[in-house]
Amino acid sequence: MTARLNSGCQAAVGLIFLFSLCRVAESEKLLVMPQDGSHWLSMQVVLEKLAERGHSIVVVMPENSFLMRTSEHFTVRTFSVPYTQEELDKMYHSIGENVFHSSPFLLKVFEVYTNITEFTDFVVSSCKSLLHDSKLVTFLRESNFDAMFSDPVLPCGPILAEHLALPTVYFLRGLPCGLDFQAAQCPNPLSYIPLGFTGLSDQMAFTERVKNFLAVPFHFVLCRIFFTNFEHLASDFLQRKITVLELFNNASVWLLRYDFVFEYPRPVMPNIVFVGGINCARKKPLSKEFEAIVNNSGEHGIVVFSLGSMVSEIPMKKAMEIAEGLGTIPQTVLWRYTGEVPPNLAKNTKLVKWLPQNDLLAHPKTRAFITHAGSHGIYEGICNAVPMVLMPLFGDQMDNAKRVESRGAGVILNIIEMTAKDISNALQAVIYDKKYKENIQRLSELHLDRPIHPLDLAVHWVEFVMKHKGAAHLRPAAHDLNWVQYHSIDVIAFLLAVVLLALIISLKCCLFCCRKCCGKGGRVSKKSKSKSQ
């Protein structure tokens, strides 16, 4: 249903843009507690739009950050942290780069565990520093914010919101072990909702449903590893015992970077709003340098390749394998890579320290996207209808990759085992086998055919919570029930007891009547017996 515009209407389009800029909302005060890494990049887009609409925004961030930076759009308040910039960068890169070391299974599990604990130690220490910065906390308390906007994946924001009694809008892809849905009182039937890290889809055979069920304790342990230190910190700081779930329970609105073109359809709650693909909003024309590369690619076009900001170095052997694979296709490959240049790098491959990923993917000459399957990259692939070669590294990336593959829009490669030939085959497939392009095109059309842009939706709900001091009318009464009450176990037990009691009484009555009758009969027969004698 492409819009047909006549010339008169086209003139109006420009004015609409003018109008949207003019429609400045009454200024409200927003406290922002972001999350570092790629999470920050999509949140920043929302903050810029909110600032444009005249809100006063204060972002609290540690003095040393991986990707978070100051901006003219908002005030930044920093707090000191017990680690240097180098230590932080090293920690982030080590998560991305450890993946390339092949280890036995148990050692791998131990490595993942060490990575997670090292990471949470960093963020807990950062959060501790913030909460103990009494000057900053006093400033925040006295600022009388209208709401907090936070990425709560590592829940420093929720602790501060609880302390400042602020209504919250959470902005996230999802929480470990489905804690977001649990906190929103959203049903989560395990029979068709695959848990994270299982690699399952929503179409599960019996054995897969058993596997999904068995993943529950694993997720429980994961949650403990992730959140225990935060729970201690929250209880210490708020001076009362509080669980992470209780902290999350108070969310006014959950803005999930989630779209059912990519995720499996599932029950949701009225205060869960879906803004998947929000990161595609930021579009700029290509710089001259990139424009020249793309234009020089000829009829074959280009391939965009990035493993995300957390991977700066790849072992040389693997880098050479990749370089060899990339050299086999006629397309120009733009590879975001900051490590040592592989000596066998083919002429068609250009290494760059940074690339405007979404803008390049939006270019009609882009034929394929090689990605580590981070959710941001995948949404950019979907928005721009570019088929993908997926090289998942860690976290939710394997699940993301499986979803794209299950929809026939990409090919997964195992980053440790893949050879140059595998890379070449995968690229040839997604570029020349029409079905990949057709599938991603269909997903893209479904994704983009929405009543309102996710960025406007996010801005609306942040403003809503600021204006109305929360969204109490969207809070289900389930929050006031315990587990037994929620599942009506007390009601069922009571009704069963009543039925049982009624049965027993009926039975007793019957027995009593029978005995009466028989007794009477017996007496009668006795009497008649004695008479007959």
Q: Which of residues 269-328 bind a second copy (CB under 8 A)?
A: 269-271
DSSP string covering 421-481: HHHHHHHHHHHH-HHHHHHHHHHHHHHH--SS-HHHHHHHHHHHHHHHTS-GGG--GGGGS
Among 109, 292, 341, 491, binds a second copy (CB under 8 A): 491
Question: Contact 77/133 with Cβ under 8 angstroms?
Answer: no
Among 81, 58, 77, CA closest to 132: 81
Query: Taking the complex as a whole, how short is the minimal distance between the CB of residue 448 and a second copy, in angstroms?
Result: 11
Chain positions 145 to 164 lying near a second copy, rule: CB under 8 A, are none
Q: Is 51 a binder of a second copy (CB under 8 A)?
A: no
Nearer to a second copy, 8 or 104 (CB): 8
# of chain residues touching a second copy (CB under 8 A): 77
Nearer to a second copy, 105 or 483 (CB): 483
Q: Which two tokens stand for residue 467?
A: 């204006």
CA atoms within 13 A on the CB side of 390: 29
Query: Taking the complex as a whole, how short is the minimal distance between the CB of residue 224 and a second copy, in angstroms?
Result: 22
CB atoms closer than 10 angstroms to residue 490: 11
Nearer to a second copy, 92 or 262 (CB): 262
Distance of CA 310 to the CA centre of its chain: 17
Show the CA angle centred on residue 158, arms to residues 153 and 159, nearest 5°: 120
Q: Name the segment binding a second copy (CB under 8 A); options: 79-87, 109-117, 486-494, 503-511.
A: 486-494
Q: Is 267 a binder of a second copy (CB under 8 A)?
A: yes
Q: Is 399 a binder of a second copy (CB under 8 A)?
A: no
Question: Contact 172/257 with Cβ under 8 angstroms?
Answer: yes
Question: Contact 401/369 with Cβ under 8 angstroms?
Answer: no
Q: Is 52 a binder of a second copy (CB under 8 A)?
A: no
Residues 6+ away with beta carbon under 8 Å from 99: 393, 394, 415, 416
Chain positions 437 to 476 lying near a second copy, rule: CB under 8 A, are 445-446, 449-452, 456-457, 460-461, 463-464, 466-468, 473-476
Q: Which two tokens stand for residue 256?
A: 């999930």
Nearer to a second copy, 6 or 532 (CB): 6
Write the burial class of residue 320 (CB in 10 Å: 0-12 exposed, 13-18 middle, 19+ buried): middle
What character string, x for contact with a second copy (CB under 8 A) and - otherwise, covers 110-139? ------------------------------
Residues 6+ away with beta carbon under 8 Å from 457: 255, 273, 275
Nearer to a second copy, 13 or 509 (CB): 13
Q: Alpha carbon of 491 to those of 192, 320, 481, 500: distances in Å?
A: 27, 66, 13, 14
Nearer to a second copy, 304 or 443 (CB): 443
Nearer to a second copy, 16 or 106 (CB): 16
Chain positions 173 to 192 lying near a second copy, rule: CB under 8 A, are 186-187, 189-192
Signed CA dihedral, 504, 505, 506, 507: sign only = positive
Query: Taking the complex as a whole, how short is the minimal distance between the CB of residue 208 and a second copy, in angstroms?
Result: 10
Chain positions 210 to 239 lying near a second copy, rule: CB under 8 A, are 210, 213-214
Among 9, 109, 221, 499, binds a second copy (CB under 8 A): 9
Nearer to a second copy, 100 or 264 (CB): 264
CB atoms closer than 10 angstroms to residue 364: 9
Among 86, 142, 289, 480, binds a second copy (CB under 8 A): 480
Among 73, 209, 219, 350, binds a second copy (CB under 8 A): 209
Question: Contact 392/313 with Cβ under 8 angstroms?
Answer: no
Q: Is 206 a binder of a second copy (CB under 8 A)?
A: yes
